[in-house]
């Protein structure tokens, strides 16, 4: 791991002349800024959660409701049921403050009652799935029932822009099919794969399961479905992914490639900076919940919970089962280049670094010719191997000390960036180059991707990019959404910093050569 300099902000000592106190104003200022930023994020996260929790209503509607209730009460109308007059004596001895407080309590109660009634109605509406099976296309009409359903969903979904998690409380529970339906669908799915003799045997086994242990297991599932909104997700995550002991490299992780027909620059540092900056902006959109949830047909919301683990997330190996750890915040990324790991800060004075500022750091890494530390170059090969072996090595060699600090820097990073020393190529006349492109992103050299991280951003020395993503933390659609944002930002945003800064960097280097 590249060496890091440590600073002491405050020191206290006693000498023969008295007390000696030293402090570094700059370091203390940085500590203060870090604390302010942390508390700001907590405040805005709380505020956003509050806004999402009351959607489709708004916080402004609370004050409108309270003012309306207060006006009705002081106008002499005992509506509704004179609730304000009944609870006011319990709130204050003074008449006017008591009535004001009573009006606020009643207004808050009515406001919450209406909100939760709307959210429950929306949840019931979203349980209808018949719209999926209706014919679409020119000249085809949907049923009147679905038309009414669409109108009601539109009304109860709210008319202002939803935040990322606005619909989480309105999503229906995952329906639990009966044992009979499950067995019927199972037999239908295996029928093309079995001959008559084996299919008859499978029918017998299905009936035995249905009349035996299946009913007992179904009761457990019913109990769990009452307790949780999704009775599958945690078991699916554990038994399909986290309990797997085979290597992640080619068995679980997946990859994504660049826009193969064109890309904005051939400068590796410029393209890396542009992609990193786009990823950080996307992370900020998630943190502020400014992304709109995915809406099927522009109306039916999908669950957005998996977006939370897109950044600051890593998979920790275990002897029998792994676990996914998500950190609330990360102030750095980790960059790998020619066997060395570099910690790159991504904030300056509580703001995200611009692409040009990130590019300067990336170029310094590319120009650094220092040799890797002992064991540093192929450290990531541990994440590419058997999970039990990696877990044992982690316990034995990374339990404490410098190794533990270095590992924490990688695992607590927002994400990992790999600056490859090979080019990512696409040539329509030579399709095998695209195959090689995919192989590089899928496994690289086996030790130059941190396969446990939520994703590793890969940058070729010709400016093309791609990613390698760990699969257990989310479905591929979430990572695809991020990648669509990264790729499209470079082409849609006319003020993209990286290509411009790439030209500036060429100018700076040429000027330095002339001066030299």
Q: Count the residues in the chain.
A: 516
**Contact present, 169 and 126 (Cβ < 8 Å):** no
Answer yes or no: is pLDDT of 10 > 60.
Answer: no
Span 54-67, mean pLDDT?
A: 86
Cα distance from N-terminal residue to C-terminal residue, the chain: 32
| The pLDDT value given to residue 318 | 95
Same-domain status, 370 and 467: yes
Q: Which of 126, 157, 188 is the last residue of a domain?
A: 157
Q: Is residue 507 part of a domain?
A: no
Q: What single DSSP character describes residue 232?
A: S
3-state secondary structure of 344: strand
Span 438-461, mean pLDDT?
A: 95
Q: Is residue 512 part of a domain?
A: no
| The pLDDT value given to residue 428 | 86
Q: Is residue 173 part of a domain?
A: no
| The pLDDT value given to residue 418 | 97
Where would I find the beta strands (DSSP E) of 323-372? 323-326, 332-337, 340-345, 347-348, 351-352
pLDDT band at 508 (very low <50, low <70, confident <90, very high): very low
Q: Is residue 260 part of a domain?
A: yes
**Contact present, 459 and 420 (Cβ < 8 Å):** yes
Answer yes or no: is pLDDT of 4 > 50.
Answer: no
pLDDT band at 95 (very low <50, low <70, confident <90, very high): confident
Same-domain status, 14 and 150: no
Instruction: Kindly give the interhelix angle for 25-54 and 59-74, rounded to the nearest 10 degrees.
Output: 60
Same-domain status, 130 and 199: no
- Domain boundaries, position 129: 59-157
Same-domain status, 213 and 292: no
- CB 275: neighbour CB atoms within 10 A? 26
What is the DSSP secondary-structure string of 399-454?
A: SSHHHHHHHHHHHTSS-EEEE-SS-----TT-THHHHHHHHHHHHTTSSSS-TTBS
Same-domain status, 224 and 294: no
Q: What is the tens place of the pLDDT at every residue in 176-185? A: 999 999 999 9
The catalytic position among 73, 326, 471, 481 is 471
Its pTM stands at: 0.82
Same-domain status, 134 and 67: yes
| The pLDDT value given to residue 513 | 40
Lowest model confidence (mean pLDDT) among 76-80, 199-203, 391-395, 472-476? 76-80
Q: Is residue 345 part of a domain?
A: no
Span 252-280, mean pLDDT?
A: 92
Same-domain status, 387 and 487: yes
Q: What is the tens place of the pLDDT at every residue in 426-437? A: 988 888 899 999
Q: What single DSSP character describes residue 107?
A: H
| The pLDDT value given to residue 37 | 65
Distance separating alpha carbons of residues 498 and 502, to the nearest angstrom: 6
| The pLDDT value given to residue 245 | 93
**Residue 471 among the catalytic residues:** yes
Q: What CATH number did the domain enclosing 425 receive?
A: 3.30.559.70
Residue percentage of the chain with pLDDT more than 90: 50
Q: Is residue 445 part of a domain?
A: yes
Same-domain status, 263 and 401: yes
The number of angstroms, rounded, from the C-alpha of 303 to the middle of its chain's C-alpha atoms is 12
Q: State the total domains in the chain.
A: 4
Same-domain status, 402 and 307: yes
Q: Is residue 201 part of a domain?
A: yes
Same-domain status, 73 and 45: no
Bridge partners, residue 202, by sequence: none
The beta-carbon contacts of 218-227 under 8 Å, at least 24 apart in sequence, are 218/178, 218/179, 221/176, 222/176, 225/173, 225/174, 225/176
The pair phi, psi for residue 467, each rounded to 5°, is: -145, 155
Span 329-339, mean pLDDT?
A: 94
Same-domain status, 36 and 72: no
Same-domain status, 303 and 407: yes
To 5 degrees, how large is the angle CA 247–CA 250–CA 252?
A: 75
Q: Is residue 373 part of a domain?
A: yes
């Amino acid at each position: 791991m590249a060496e890091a300099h440590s600073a002491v902000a405050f020191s206290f000592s006693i000498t023969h002349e008295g007390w000696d106190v030293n402090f570094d104003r700059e370091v203390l200022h940085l500590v203060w800024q870090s604390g302010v930023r942390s508390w700001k994020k907590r405040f805005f996260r709380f505020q956003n959660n509050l806004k999402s929790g009351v959607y489709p209503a708004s916080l402004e509607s609370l004050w409108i409701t309270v003012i309306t209730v207060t006006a009705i009460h002081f106008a002499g109308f005992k509506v509704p049921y004179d609730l304000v007059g009944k609870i006011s004596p319990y709130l204050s001895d003074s008449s006017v403050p008591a009535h004001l407080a009573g009006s606020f309590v009643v207004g808050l109660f009515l406001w919450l009652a209406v909100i939760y009634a709307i959210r429950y109605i929306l949840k019931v509406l979203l349980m209808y799935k018949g719209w999926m099976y209706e014919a679409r296309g020119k000249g085809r009409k949907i049923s009147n029932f679905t038309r009414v359903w669409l109108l009601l969903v539109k009304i109860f979904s709210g008319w202002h822009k939803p935040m990322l998690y606005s619909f989480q409380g309105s999503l229906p529970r995952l329906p639990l099919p009966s044992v009979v339906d499950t067995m019927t669908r199972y037999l239908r799915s295996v029928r093309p794969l079995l001959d008559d003799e084996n299919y008859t045997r499978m029918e017998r086994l299905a009936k035995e399961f249905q009349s035996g242990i299946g009913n007992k297991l179904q009761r457990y599932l019913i109990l769990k479905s009452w307790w949780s909104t999704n009775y599958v997700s945690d078991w699916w995550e554990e038994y399909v992914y986290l309990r797997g002991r085979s290597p992640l490299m080619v068995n679980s992780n997946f990859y994504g490639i660049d826009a193969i027909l064109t890309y904005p620059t051939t400068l590796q540092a410029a393209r890396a900076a542009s992609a990193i900056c786009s990823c950080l902006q996307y992370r900020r959109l998630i943190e502020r919940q400014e992304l709109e949830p995915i809406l099927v047909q522009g109306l039916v919301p999908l669950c957005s919970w998996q977006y939370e683990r897109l950044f600051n997330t890593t998979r920790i190996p275990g002897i029998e089962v792994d676990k996914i750890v998500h950190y609330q915040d990360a102030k750095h990324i980790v960059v790998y280049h020619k066997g060395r790991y570099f910690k790159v800060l991504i904030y300056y004075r509580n703001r995200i670094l611009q692409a040009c500022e990130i590019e300067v750091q990336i170029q310094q890494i590319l120009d650094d010719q220092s040799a890797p530390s002992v064991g540093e170059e192929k450290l990531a090969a541990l994440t590419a191997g058997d999970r039990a072996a990696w877990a044992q090595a982690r316990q034995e060699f990374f339990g404490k000390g410098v190794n533990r600090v270095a590992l924490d820097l990688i695992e607590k990073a927002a994400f990992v960036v790999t600056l490859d020393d090979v080019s990512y190529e696409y040539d329509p006349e030579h399709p095998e180059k695209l195959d090689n492109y995919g192989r590089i992103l899928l496994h690289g050299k086996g030790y130059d991707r941190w396969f446990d991280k939520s994703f590793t951003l890969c940058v070729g020395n010709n400016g093309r990019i791609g990613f390698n993503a760990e699969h257990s933390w989310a479905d591929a659609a979430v990572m695809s959404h991020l990648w669509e944002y990264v790729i499209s930002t470079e082409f849609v945003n006319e003020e993209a910093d990286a290509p411009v800064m790439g030209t500036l960097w060429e100018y700076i280097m040429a000027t330095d050569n002339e001066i030299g």
